[in-house]
Amino acid sequence: MSAIAFIGLGHMGGPMAANLVKAGHAVRGFDLSPASLELARAGGVTTVASVGEAVSGAGLVITMLPAGAHVLAVWQELVAIVPPGTLLMDCSTIDMGSARKAHALAAAHGCPALDAPVSGGTGGASAGTLTFMVGGDAAVFAEAKQVLEAMGRRIIHCGDASAGQAAKICNNMILGISMIAVGEAFVLGERLGLSHQALFDVASVSSGQCWSLTTYCPVPGPVPTSPANYGYEPGFAAALMLKDLNLSQAAAEDTGSMTPLGAKAALLYQLFADEGGGEKDFSGIINMLREKSASDTE
Ligand code: NAD
């Protein structure tokens, strides 16, 4: 494939672009932040001073930006300068409305487009083990798959335009809710005199089993690799979980879907962030549940 332009070289985009370089692609990257540019350079990315310079001669443009407004602003700039036929791919996590608008912008300028949000966090971005959830035309997906394989381990075509974003939002709503459920169960178990290990041993092989329990257990001990064992350093920051839950609630409102647990999870993560937990791993919400339980009985 011809050169790749990469716009947005932050915590995720920087290491993703570096993995493309490792796989032998010529990558020209642009970011507004000098610190992000410097880190990308250390990863072998050729950094440039503008979007225009990054996309010159590129057959594929990847964006990895904070939110929908950033993506639409950059894509508006892109479609004005890239030749028709240039493949545009957004890997950011954004709202459904912006994802659809981005696809429409690309289509109006004769550019094939994919939404390809990721799961796997900064660890997965560095290790090249991300999961990509991809929305867009099947033929365009087939064209982009090999590039995605340089950055990820599981590449899933979820359907037409914006289906990848839909999958990301729904998956993370499950995750946000299930982490609170597991946290609540451990706090209740503590008050019932049950050890963490005993609850883990039962629930991990019973019907309470889920990823939040068995891979990312929110209490220290049962799963030695979970952030609970490392002072709840992220991992996946609670502020990002809040962002994704808010995206799920915007989508639920637009579609008239009943998601009462998603709504409650968003409120609880908002409270956790308001009380200073936003930069902690999202599994740290168990500590807020425990603290609030204690004050209720005093
Ligand atoms: P980040 O804030 O570290 O990086 C975003 C980068 O975009 C920054 O370096 C910023 O300077 C740059 N940027 C903003 N506007 C720009 C513009 N107009 N032109 C060029 N660069 C611009 O964020 P991140 O953690 O890398 O996340 C990126 C996306 O990935 C977000 O949508 C996030 O929700 C999603 N995501 C993050 C994680 C995670 O664990 N961090 C996991 C999955 C998905």
Residue in 7, 28, 32 to alter for ligand 1 test, most ligand atoms within 8 A of Cβ? 32
Question: What tokens does 262 get?
Answer: 């998603």
Could you tell me the pTM of the whole model?
0.95
32 contacts: CB under 8 Å, gap ≥ 6: none
- Tokens at residue 134, please? 């991809």
Q: Are 34 and 20 spatial neighbours (Cβ–Cβ below 8 Å)? A: no
Mean pLDDT across the stretch 155-170?
98
Closest by Cα among 217, 225, 264 to 242: 264
- pLDDT score recorded for residue 295: 61
**pLDDT digits over 172-181, tens only?**
999 999 999 9
Q: Which residues are 63's β-sheet partners?
A: 7, 90
Q: 298 falls in which pLDDT band (50, 70, 90)? A: very low
Query: Using CA atoms, how far apart are residues 63 and 99, in angstroms rounded to an integer?
Result: 12
Percent of the chain with pLDDT over 70: 98
Residue 254 has pLDDT above 70, yes or no: yes
User: Which one is predicted more confidently, 295 or 30?
Assistant: 30
- Residue 153 has which token pair? 């381990």
Lookup: tokens for 276: 């200073």
DSSP, residue by residue, the chain: ---EEEE--STTHHHHHHHHHHTT--EEEE-S-HHHHHHHHHTT-EE-SSHHHHHTT-SEEEE--SSHHHHHHHHHHHHHHSPTT-EEEE-S---HHHHHHHHHHHHHTT--EEE--EESHHHHHHHT-EEEEEES-HHHHHHHHHHHHTTEEEEEEEESTTHHHHHHHHHHHHHHHHHHHHHHHHHHHHHTT--HHHHHHHHTTSTT--HHHHTT-SSSSSSTTSGGGGTT--SSBHHHHHHHHHHHHHHHHHHT---HHHHHHHHHHHHHIIIIITTSBGGGHHHHHHHHHHHHH-
Measured in angstroms, how far is the CA atom of residue 66 from the centroid of ligand 1?
4
The H or E element that residue 28 is part of is strand 27-30
Largest separation between any pair of C-alpha atoms in the chain: 67
Residue of 168, 243, 280, 292 with catalytic role: 168
Query: Is there a contact between 57 and 128 (Cβ–Cβ < 8 Å)?
Result: no
Average pLDDT for 117-136: 95
Domains annotated on the chain, with CATH: 4-160 (3.40.50.720), 166-297 (1.10.1040.10)
Q: What tokens appear for 34 in the block?
A: 């000098």
Share of the chain above pLDDT 90, in %: 96
Query: What pLDDT is recorded for position 2?
Result: 81
Residue type, position 58, single letter: A
CB of 36 closer than 6 A to ligand 1? yes
Residue 246 contacts residue 266 (beta carbons within 8 Å): yes
Alpha-carbon span 78 to 105, nearest angstrom: 10
Q: Which of 41, 65, 133, 171 to mutate to test the pocket of ligand 1 (most atoms within 8 A of CB)?
A: 65
168 is catalytic: yes
